[in-house]
Structure 1
Amino acid sequence: MTDIAILCWTLLWTGPTAGLTAPPAELGVTQSPGRLTVLRGETATLCCHFTVPSQWRGFQWFRMNPDRQSILPSARYVFLEKNQSSSLLITEAAPKDSGEYYCEVSVPYQDPEWGNGTLLTVLAPPSSPRLYLQTPADPQIDLFSLVCVTWGFYPSDLSLYWTNRSAASPIDRLSINNCTLSSSSNTTTATADPLQSPQCVRLEDTRTSEVYLISVLPLPDREYMEAGVTYACVVEGHPAMTEPLTASYMWEAPPNLLIGALNILKMCFLSAMTAIFSLEAVKHWCS
């Protein structure tokens, strides 16, 4: 038999067999839900479903933060696997857990397959606002101010505004001074009468991602201050809130020196808190 005949005979028998070789089975991975929102302290459950052609497989969860960060089992991160699914349980969820999570499945001789991802948001509602009276160094010539503080919330979306009500009128009048935070722009905007020199200070704890907001409302000169006027600081517009939060202060008479001294101590505390968070932000930026 010639060499050509032998080659044709070989192709005749091996050709159909090679054509019947099945390609590797497709590896399918899906995640649910696509978006998940929980309150701080709750448990977030992320599910991953997969179809694998082999019992030999590798599986892991990771988070984009913004680069890929593998999730390791711990007291807060619990893995549950059953049949063709795996779940990641994040217990006592905190704002710092917010982000995009993915599952990855790998089998021999194939590239790993990612799930479609789950965007997790952990909401932290703001604390009830607190009001402090800022006593000037010279009450005879300088203005008094009210300081409103709310903290511990995530994301940044929040509105804080001031109202006042005189003793003669039960209707609240909206003060021009207000602060608005937006998580998309990550900035603080303030609108007010420029003569009142308003202040809105936004601070963020880089360890927990929680936000603090301080707003200062300068009061009118004492000779124009009417006794019985009630000032209120109102916080609203946060996705974890169901109703506005309010703190109020009634101006009855010029405060005595003891109250003034106590409020100076409170302002020192607020200044120290501002310095601490600023230092933490600098450390985080430098690292």
Structure 2
Amino acid sequence: MLLKEYRDYFKTELVSIYDEKEIDSFFYITLEAFHQMKRLDLALQPAFELDGMQLLQWETVLHQLKEQRPIQYIFEETEFFGLSFYVNENVLIPRPETEELVEWILNSVSGWSRDRKIRILDIGTGSGCIAVSLAKNLPEAEVYAIDVSEKALEVARRNARQLEAPVTFWHKDILETTILPEMFDIIVSNPPYVRNLEKQEISKNVLEFEPHLALFVDDHDPLLFYRKITELATKNLNHNGLLFFEINQYLGSEMQHLLESNSFLQIELRKDIYENDRMTKAVWGSYS
């Protein structure tokens, strides 16, 4: 079968599940993965034909997409902050909103003195996307990362090795931690924040395939992780240190109150690209 003919079939099979832009994205991701071809290459080779084995490969991907398995898990790869990360079902797929959080951190330290190393801790690192991206963009920093899941840490360590990012990983349950072993200039976390009552807003490809341990929190205590991490930050952030969170879009004011009640200053609530309250920044102590 000609590949351009299969493209039409591919779209027809998925059009009832995904929008056209998503289908195009899936097709060209698969095209590059299997044939190292881009959109222009296909246009220049209209007679490119799939043999039996290649057709079977495409059909396998198509079947998984029809089951709404994320394409990132199918190919075990995703891009984040200009870097290629390995992912599997033990970690969340990094989101564009989290890239905004990384960008905010980098901009916040751009004027800092480099007389000593900046020490950064990422709590609930998952794939390691935040920690690794910061380590790659701040070579003068010492970056540490924590996760409760050993399987997630395997993924994060693999990404750090592949991307040559010097990150120190700790296997630790943050809810059972009373004090951290180091002092830090920055603590950042994207912890579980989706309440069970919000499950109806979650698409099937997330709900059925991404790890619930990293997604959901009890309806009756949605700030559980934020409260614990904020408490630890009061003990383990240096004076003028920064605390960054990615947050539940519905709990922005609650997050501000939590930070204020723990004596954090200069609290900022920032919207993401979708105009949702998505991240906070706070200072421990005051600027001199």
TM-score bracket, shorter-length normalisation: under 0.3
Structure richer in helix, relative to its length? 2
Q: Report the TM-score when normalising by structure 1.
A: 0.24
Q: Which has the larger radius of gyration?
A: 1
Structure richer in strand, relative to its length? 1
Q: Report the TM-score when normalising by structure 2.
A: 0.23
